[in-house]
Amino acid sequence: MNLEIIKEISITSPEKIVMLVLDGLGGIPNPTTGKTELETARIPNLDAIAAKGICGLSDPIAPGITPGSGPGHLALFGYDPIITRIGRGALEALGIDIELGLDDVAARGNFCTIDSQGIITDRRAGRISSEKCAELCKLLDGISINGVDIMLYPSREHRFVAIFRGKGLQTELTESDPSRTGVAPLEVKAKQPSSKKAAQVINKFIAKAKTILAAHHPANMILLRGFAKKPEIPTMQEIYKLNPLAIAAYPMYRGLARLVGMEVSKTGTTFEDEIKTLRENYQKYDFFFLHVKSTDTAGEDGDFARKVKILEQIDAALPALTGLNPDVLVITGDHSTPAVYSGHSWHPVPVVICSKYCRTDGVKEFSEKAFLVGGLGRIAATQIMPLAMANARKLTKFGT
Amino acid sequence: MNLEIIKEISITSPEKIVMLVLDGLGGIPNPTTGKTELETARIPNLDAIAAKGICGLSDPIAPGITPGSGPGHLALFGYDPIITRIGRGALEALGIDIELGLDDVAARGNFCTIDSQGIITDRRAGRISSEKCAELCKLLDGISINGVDIMLYPSREHRFVAIFRGKGLQTELTESDPSRTGVAPLEVKAKQPSSKKAAQVINKFIAKAKTILAAHHPANMILLRGFAKKPEIPTMQEIYKLNPLAIAAYPMYRGLARLVGMEVSKTGTTFEDEIKTLRENYQKYDFFFLHVKSTDTAGEDGDFARKVKILEQIDAALPALTGLNPDVLVITGDHSTPAVYSGHSWHPVPVVICSKYCRTDGVKEFSEKAFLVGGLGRIAATQIMPLAMANARKLTKFGT
């Protein structure tokens, strides 16, 4: 659905929507048992929600396409992930909780090793410790070149994020990282005249970094790539007239929520913590995005039994959430992560919408197979928000 | 799915995809028995593949739209058949195994009969024999006009294909065939200035043909229509990074495969021959398109019993194919051809995808009705290739 149309017909209402995203929800059958993780787990509360709601399967992008976390979540928030692309640098910045301004250019960085001739001998500087990385970032952080302030944020091991903050920076740039050893780092070049200023500043910064790091072998140079700005996206306030809160233990998902205008709450590390945060903030907002990461991690690790156990733990914690009686409860994932596949996959994702006004179907079980004949059928993930909004009486008629 | 995106995320992998197209697969119930051809046939091997795979129904173009063979196959290869159109002349050329260059203009031709006033009395020249047609084509073949070489290829009875090979020919042209008797053949006119050269050459050629054929009553004139060039299509190598082989007994399907960049193998006339060819070439390619025509022909002839029998014969031959254990096996059709309808139809086409990573559904039987509740649901035929690619681990993540 075109967001311009949603914007035309959306209204504010007292009803509250809770969208619970179980990352990587949805699997494929274990070859031994013929059952998926959801079919294996004992999840009576999820089953009850499926029975009370309307169920189906959703494609985050399109059949056959495996989404990354960025596109998967944009789709859940109703944004076409093919139109709205998030560059690597920007996503990396979101992933470590950096707030990006509209003019900021973000880049992914590595500390690396160069020899006396300036040739790269190790693209990862021997995988220095995260502590060492933080120390070195401090040396380079706060430099200013041609009116552009440069900030460095350490990530894990040899990785960091660099932010270039100033006017007139564009991102049509080549990378300094040649993606191999045995050659010198590349000069950053502007692919468009409008990006010339950014190229100049970045090259000067790299030269300065080289001087500063000279004595810090093996981390005696940096490589930069994935130059990107934050995409300009109309906020959820603008489109849906919602007052949304994100509750997510992992920084990447807080970043994605911030990107679409959500407020972000502090919370703990467990699902129970997130529900507690939800309860504490329940009166102040009308849309809540809760994100659970552990389902995805277990799937990525190929740990079928752990994914089953985590689903059971989530199920056990659910009554504290459903006890709030949200007017609309959506439970789904941003993509499937079947333990058998050990990674994000293209398989459609189970989705249930529970409200006073949903047209219930005959589904009694929360599983991929049961949801095949659910009342939602097979939908695009971008259709979930309009459905949630409708169920919350937050969309007026289209036309008369 | 946008092919540009597939191109971005496709990679080469060792996995092999076999796409078996049973032309005209899919029917409607016989009014006497209430069962379709697939429901009537004893097809235990197809049933077993349905049980092992994920099943569904696909629309070649859109609900209600009956595709020709060209659009039907383009959709199966992942190309939007509404965007990529194949002109009649080009399709006719493909249909008799002519390799078209990018500059060539192809036209469909008829020998016809004119009277002493030049008025058409029979548009089909009394349906002269194919032998006679070949003889007459030789008289007109090899003529050169204004630097354009003209080649004639006999087809069946009074039909032939004319190829105009030279620079600067465009196809915005009216036809010389008035599509009725009692009038003279029409002059070919350029509908755009850029097509003027082509119009001149074609009119000169027709005048020359009239002189040459004068003594060959009833085939004493020609009619040309459907002027078309080969569409410029990115190849399957470019889009999917595949190394694809087509195995098809019928020239039209070899031509369609060549159009999208497939190599085309020699093969015999039966399905068993095609499987033998597949086995011989299995190590050398990573994508195989096998085409079976007889299902469609039986449907077109309205011969329900024959279509059932052919399905049973195909089923019996299948173990030689499945014995290769392709990583991904797709079985589908380019459109339905219900025997009860005696022609191509708009009914969605059964499709099954079988791989280690498909999310199996509860379907146990290869039929239109059973596939209604299959895990693929109802998809566009253009989505089959992305799904096959995903199952073969040939698509990386979209975004991060």
Q: B29-64: per-residue pLDDT in tens?
A: 999 999 999 999 999 999 999 999 999 999 999 999
Burial class from Cβ neighbours inside 10 Å (0-12, 13-18, 19+) for residue A383 reads middle
Distance from CA of B58 to the nearest CA of A (A): 12
Helices B304-317, B271-281: inter-axial angle, 10-degree rounding: 30
Token pair 């079919």 is found at A39
Res A2: pLDDT: 86
Distance from CA of B129 to the nearest CA of A (A): 49
Q: Which of B1, B375, B400 faces A69 most closely, judged by CB atoms? A: B400
Distance from CA of B188 to the nearest CA of A (A): 45
Contact A259, A233 (CB under 8 A): yes
Q: B400 to chain A: which residues are within 8 Å by CB?
A: 68-70, 88, 91
Q: A71 to chain B: which residues are within 8 Å by CB?
A: 398-399
Give dist(CA A323, CA B240) in Å, integer: 49
Contact B398 A67 (CB under 8 A): yes
Q: Which of B374, B387, B399 faces A86 most closely, judged by CB atoms? A: B399
β-sheet bridge partners, residue B190: B173
Q: Which of B385, B398, B400 faces A61 most closely, judged by CB atoms? A: B398
Distance from CA of A33 to the nearest CA of B (A): 12
Distances (CA, A) of B57 to A66, B136, B372: 22, 47, 7
DSSP-derived pairing of the beta strands A17-22 and A244-248 = unpaired
Interface test with B, best of A66, A88, A94, A296 (most B CBs within 10 A): A66
Put simply, whether B390 touches A (Cβ < 8 Å) is yes
Indicate the DSSP class of residue A194: G
Contact B400 A70 (CB under 8 A): yes
A285-A288-A293 Cα angle (round to 5): 150
Q: What kind and span of H or E run contains B45?
A: helix B44-52
Contact A347 B361 (CB under 8 A): no
Contact A83, A76 (CB under 8 A): no
Contact B387 A338 (CB under 8 A): no
What 3-state DSSP class applies to B346?
coil
**How distant is the alpha carbon of residue B132 from its chain centre?**
27
Contact B17, B330 (CB under 8 A): yes
What 3-state DSSP class applies to B164?
strand
Among A86, A79, A40, which Cα is nearest to A252's?
A86
Among A167, A184, A178, which Cα is nearest to A224's?
A178
Residue B29, preceding bond cis, omega within 30 degrees? no
Q: Which value, in Å, is the radius of gyration of the alpha carbons in chain B? A: 23
Per-residue pLDDT of chain B (400 residues; tens, 9 = 90+): 689 999 999 999 999 999 999 999 999 999 999 999 999 999 999 999 999 999 999 999 999 999 999 999 999 999 999 999 998 899 889 888 888 999 999 999 999 999 999 999 999 999 999 999 999 999 999 999 999 999 999 988 999 999 999 999 999 999 999 989 999 999 999 999 999 999 999 999 999 999 999 999 999 999 999 999 999 899 999 999 999 999 999 888 999 999 999 999 999 999 999 999 999 999 999 999 999 999 999 999 999 999 999 999 999 999 999 999 999 999 999 999 999 999 999 999 999 999 999 999 999 999 999 999 999 999 999 999 999 999 999 999 998 7
Distances (CA, A) of A238 to A157, A233, A234, A392: 39, 10, 6, 17
Window 185-244 of A: residues touching B by CB (8 A cutoff) are none
Q: Could you report how far apart the first and last alpha carbons of chain A are, in Å?
A: 19
Window 5-64 of A: residues touching B by CB (8 A cutoff) are 27-29, 34, 36, 57, 61-64
Give the torsion sign (CA, A205, A208, A213, A218). positive
Among B56, B383, B59, B388, which Cα is nearest to A59's?
B383
Give dist(CA B190, CA A262) in Å, integer: 59
Distance from CA of B68 to the nearest CA of A (A): 25
Contact A68 B399 (CB under 8 A): yes
Res B1: pLDDT: 62
Indicate the DSSP class of residue A57: E
- Token readout for B293 is 């025509």
Closest A-chain CA to B378: A378
Q: A345 to chain B: which residues are within 8 Å by CB?
A: 357, 390
Measured in residues, chain B has a length of 400
Res B224: pLDDT: 97
Q: Which of A61, A63, A345 faces B379 most closely, judged by CB atoms? A: A63
Q: Which of A29, A63, A81 faces B387 most closely, judged by CB atoms? A: A63
Contact B96, B156 (CB under 8 A): no
Q: A378 to chain B: which residues are within 8 Å by CB?
A: 377-378
Instruction: Please give the backbone phi and psi of residue A114, each rounded to the nearest 5 degrees, phi first.
Output: -120, 155
Which residues touch B251 (CB under 8 Å, ≥6 apart)? Answer: B94, B95, B96, B97
Give dist(CA A216, CA A135) in Å, integer: 11
Q: Supply the DSSP string of A142-157, one letter for each residue.
A: TEEETTEEEEEEE-ST
Give dist(CA A316, CA A44) in Å, integer: 8
Give dist(CA A349, CA A358) in Å, integer: 19
Window 81-120 of A: residues touching B by CB (8 A cutoff) are 81-82, 85-86, 88, 91
Contact B373 A373 (CB under 8 A): yes
Q: What kind and span of H or E run contains A55?
A: strand A54-59
The per-residue pLDDT for range B181-201, each reduced to its tens digit, is 999 999 999 999 999 999 999
Distance from CA of A206 to the nearest CA of B (A): 26
What 3-state DSSP class applies to A387?
helix
Q: A91 to chain B: which residues are within 8 Å by CB?
A: 399-400
Distance from CA of A65 to the nearest CA of B (A): 7
Distances (CA, A) of B83 to A122, A258, B105, B334: 48, 38, 20, 17
Distance from CA of A12 to the nearest CA of B (A): 33
Per-residue pLDDT of chain A (400 residues; tens, 9 = 90+): 689 999 999 999 999 999 999 999 999 999 999 999 999 999 999 999 999 999 999 999 999 999 999 999 999 999 999 999 998 899 889 888 888 998 999 999 999 999 999 999 999 999 999 999 999 999 999 999 999 999 999 988 899 999 999 999 999 999 999 989 999 999 999 999 999 999 999 999 999 999 999 999 999 999 999 999 999 899 999 999 999 999 999 888 999 999 999 999 999 999 999 999 999 999 999 999 999 999 999 999 999 999 999 999 999 999 999 999 999 999 999 999 999 999 999 999 999 999 999 999 999 999 999 999 999 999 999 999 999 999 999 999 999 8
- Token readout for B62 is 């859109």
Token pair 């398989």 is found at A347
Distances (CA, A) of A316 to A41, A52, A106, A288: 11, 18, 41, 20
What 3-state DSSP class applies to A139?
helix
What 3-state DSSP class applies to B5?
helix
